[in-house]
């Protein structure tokens, strides 16, 4: 009874105090009061959010140090595309009679009215309207190598890179990989601050990350979020052999973030921000980044071989789930189901059969098709991988030697000499049948054009076959490289188009 009285007294005291305060507040509204505003130099509570470090210790969550460390390594990229009509139909130099040639003679005509006088920056390209795109990039090497998305610089005539300190440079394309939407470019600068690449396989769902880039031309923007999922496929890349195994994050990513950095709280690069899933075209909670392990493979190949080397199993696949397991009476509900095995494929040679379920690659669990595609895409033709498969309830292990698209172990080749890189193009030597049809001794076809001398200084188009450099015959890529290496001054490029008659000339400066 005594305890009850005590409790009643405490409750009564609390209620009384509340009523007293209420009367004071509402009963003095007519009296004049002095309003005092207090200013403080710091918030009373610092580090209200906490997280666990690698040791499991609880520490304050703070993004400031990471942001300061990574922002100088993320650049703004502006790609400019001139909206001119490319091709020989505008600047063709036809070996046909015309009154000027007949009157002046070939030598005089060539000197004043030749192809180098009828095309080029001086009389058309500088006045052409331009389409300007904006994106981001990440410095991964102190000598000016920058990773970005292929779609940021694709079809650009000129690429301008602006650093965190507002210094601007023209960039050269070292190489691209449309199948992963990655590109490697370079600026002429040294001693740049870089972001180290970390093992993206160790990234965990729920881990804090920062996205750094230039959305809507707002330079050096940092947003925070977590890793929402891994090995996502959103079917955004339109390449036939596209590899999509994105890291998904809820850190805000918008147009202009493409090519920017996704980093962990230690400042390590775990991915290159590439895409968003949005009904409006702007951020709505889902962003996607190419994992750093894939970035590392692509960059290494571009620097070493000039082109990405990709190994293939040679199978058609789909994810295993409960419905598929019931439908096909499978003994597993996770893994990658093999629908078919291609003829002359690496998988077929190793004994993989339709109906097999791939469970592991080199000891790494694979639960979805994107996971399998990513692990295989990191390998080159000729590399060996160990597969663990389920076949009608029994587990088997197989060693597979990967092949290329053509069904052999040969590596792709492309000259990555400095002179070829400056041209800004991918080349391939034409075969004998094409040479015979065109009545030429040989040549090198332009397969793809990038931002480089050919796009900036001429109106040459993809498909052009270079037959001569400064009147010297070109039969393969080595000839092209040998003639251009160390070359200074003007260069006359001669060649043909398969679909246009006549011989065409273009002039560049080295």
Mean pLDDT score, 50-57: 71
Per-residue pLDDT at 456: 84
Task: Write the CA distances from 270 to 190, 198, 473, integer angstroms.
Answer: 24, 6, 47
Helix (H, G, I), strand (E, B) or coil at 10: helix
Asked whether residue 165 carries a pLDDT value surpassing 80, the answer given is yes
Helix then strand count (H, E) for the chain reads 14, 26
Task: Write the CA distances from 371 to 71, 263, 318, integer angstroms.
Answer: 30, 21, 11
Better-predicted residue by pLDDT, 213 or 104 = 213
Task: Write the CA distances from 454 to 34, 115, 156, 426, 464, integer angstroms.
Answer: 75, 14, 12, 11, 11
450: confidence class by pLDDT, cuts 50, 70, 90: confident
Radius of gyration of the chain (CA): 31
Helices (H), 270-380: 292-304, 322-328, 346-350, 369-377
Closest CA to 453 of 502, 418, 496, 486: 418
Among the ranges given (68-72, 283-287, 374-378), the one the predictor scored with the smallest mean pLDDT: 283-287
With beta carbons less than 8 A apart as the criterion, state whether 324 and 210 touch: no
Per-residue pLDDT at 422: 83
Longest Cα pair distance anywhere in the chain, in angstroms?
A: 128
Query: Average pLDDT over the chain, rounded to whole?
Result: 83
Residue of 151, 369, 415, 459 marked catalytic: 151
Asked whether residue 401 carries a pLDDT value surpassing 60, the answer given is yes
Mean pLDDT score, 11-26: 40
* Strand residues in 164-303 grouped as ranges (E): 168-177, 182-187, 208-213, 221-232, 246-249, 261-264, 269-276, 287-291
Question: Is 258 considered catalytic here?
Answer: yes
The conformation of residue 403, written as its DSSP 8-state character, comes to B
Per-residue pLDDT at 42: 52
Mean pLDDT score, 42-53: 57
Per-residue pLDDT at 285: 84
Helix (H, G, I), strand (E, B) or coil at 382: coil
Question: Model confidence over 107-119: pLDDT tens digits?
Answer: 544 544 444 444 4
Question: Is 76 considered catalytic here?
Answer: no
With beta carbons less than 8 A apart as the criterion, state whether 383 and 320 touch: no
Residue of 116, 181, 250, 459 marked catalytic: 181
Closest CA to 149 of 225, 199, 77, 233: 77
Among the ranges given (54-63, 172-181, 367-376), the one the predictor scored with the smallest mean pLDDT: 54-63
Closest CA to 177 of 306, 291, 312, 79: 306
Mean pLDDT score, 412-417: 70
Which domains, ranges and CATH numbers included, belong to the chain? 72-187 (2.40.10.10), 200-304 (2.40.10.10), 315-401 (2.30.42.10), 418-509 (2.30.42.10)
Angle at 305 between CA 304 and CA 306, to 5 degrees: 105
Closest CA to 403 of 383, 387, 377: 383
Percentage, residues of the chain above pLDDT 70: 80
150: left (phi over 0), alpha (psi -120 to 50) or beta: alpha
Asked whether residue 1 carries a pLDDT value surpassing 50, the answer given is no
Better-predicted residue by pLDDT, 132 or 18 = 132
Mean pLDDT score, 420-448: 90
Residue of 258, 345, 369, 419 marked catalytic: 258
The CA distance from 367 to 233, in Å, is: 13
Per-residue pLDDT at 127: 54
Per-residue pLDDT at 419: 80
24: confidence class by pLDDT, cuts 50, 70, 90: very low
98-107, long-range: CB < 8 A, 24+ apart = none
User: Which range has the top average pLDDT, 38-47, 61-70, 93-102, 383-392?
Assistant: 383-392
Main-chain phi, psi angles of 484, to 5 degrees: -90, -25
User: Which DSSP string do the residues of 161-182 spell out, in sequence order?
Assistant: EE-TTS-EEEEEEEEEETTTTE
Q: HEC states along 69-125?
A: HHHHHEEEEEEEEECCCCCHHHHCCCCCCCHHHHHHCHHHHHHHHCHHHCCCCCCCH
Asked whether residue 13 carries a pLDDT value surpassing 60, the answer given is no
User: Which range has the top average pLDDT, 52-61, 99-108, 370-379, 487-496?
Assistant: 370-379
263: confidence class by pLDDT, cuts 50, 70, 90: very high
The CA distance from 417 to 303, in Å, is: 10
Among the ranges given (4-13, 44-53, 227-236, 389-398), the one the predictor scored with the smallest mean pLDDT: 4-13
Among the ranges given (36-45, 157-166, 198-207, 304-313), the one the predictor scored with the smallest mean pLDDT: 36-45
- Give the global pTM: 0.77
């Amino acid at each position: 009874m005594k305890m009850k009285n005590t409790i009643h007294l405490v409750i009564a005291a609390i209620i009384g105090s509340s009523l007293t305060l209420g009367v004071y507040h509402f009963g003095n509204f007519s009296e004049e009061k002095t309003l005092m505003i207090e200013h403080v130099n710091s918030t009373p509570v610092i580090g209200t959010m906490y997280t666990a470090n690698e040791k499991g210790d609880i520490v304050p969550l703070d993004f400031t140090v990471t942001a300061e460390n990574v922002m100088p390594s993320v650049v703004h990229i502006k790609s400019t595309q001139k909206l001119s009509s490319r091709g020989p139909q505008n600047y063709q130099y036809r070996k046909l009679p015309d009154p000027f040639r007949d009157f002046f003679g070939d030598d005089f005509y060539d000197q004043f009215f030749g192809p180098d006088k009828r095309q080029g920056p001086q009389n058309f390209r500088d006045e052409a309207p331009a389409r300007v795109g904006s994106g981001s990039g990440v410095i991964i090497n102190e000598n000016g190598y920058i990773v970005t998305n292929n779609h940021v610089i694709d079809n650009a005539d000129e690429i301008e890179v602006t650093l965190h300190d507002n210094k601007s440079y023209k960039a050269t394309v070292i190489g691209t990989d449309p199948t992963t939407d990655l590109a490697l470019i370079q600026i002429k600068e040294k001693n740049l601050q870089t972001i180290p690449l970390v093992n993206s396989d160790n990234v965990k769902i729920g881990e804090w990350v920062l996205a750094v880039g230039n959305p809507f031309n707002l330079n050096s923007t940092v947003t925070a979020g977590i890793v929402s999922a891994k090995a996502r496929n959103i079917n955004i890349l339109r390449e036939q052999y596209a590899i999509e195994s994105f890291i998904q994050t809820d850190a805000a990513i918008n147009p202009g973030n493409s090519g920017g950095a996704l980093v962990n709280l230690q400042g390590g690069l775990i991915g290159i921000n590439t895409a968003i899933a949005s009904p409006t075209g702007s951020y709505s909670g889902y962003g996607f980044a190419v994992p750093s392990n894939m970035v590392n493979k692509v960059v290494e190949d571009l620097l070493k071989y000039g082109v990405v080397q990709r190994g293939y199993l040679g199978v058609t696949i789909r994810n295993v789930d409960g419905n598929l397991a019931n439908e096909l009476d499978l003994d597993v509900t996770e893994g990658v189901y093999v629908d078919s095995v291609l003829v002359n494929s690496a998988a077929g040679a190793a004994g993989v059969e339709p109906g097999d379920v791939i469970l592991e690659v080199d000891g790494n669990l694979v639960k979805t098709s994107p996971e399998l595609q990513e692990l295989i895409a990191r390998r080159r033709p000729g590399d060996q991988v160990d597969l663990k498969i389920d076949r009608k309830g029994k587990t088997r292990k197989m060693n597979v030697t990967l092949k290329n698209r053509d069904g052999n172990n040969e590596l792709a080749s492309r000259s990555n000499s400095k002179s070829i890189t400056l041209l800004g193009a991918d080349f391939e030597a034409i075969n004998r049948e094409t040479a015979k049809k065109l009545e030429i001794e040989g040549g090198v076809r332009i397969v793809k054009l990038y931002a480089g001398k050919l796009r900036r200084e001429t109106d040459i188009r993809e498909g052009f076959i270079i037959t001569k450099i400064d009147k010297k015959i070109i039969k393969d890529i080595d000839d092209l490289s040998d003639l251009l290496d160390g070359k200074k001054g003007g260069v006359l490029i001669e060649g043909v188009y398969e679909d246009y008659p006549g011989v065409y000339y273009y002039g560049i400066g080295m």
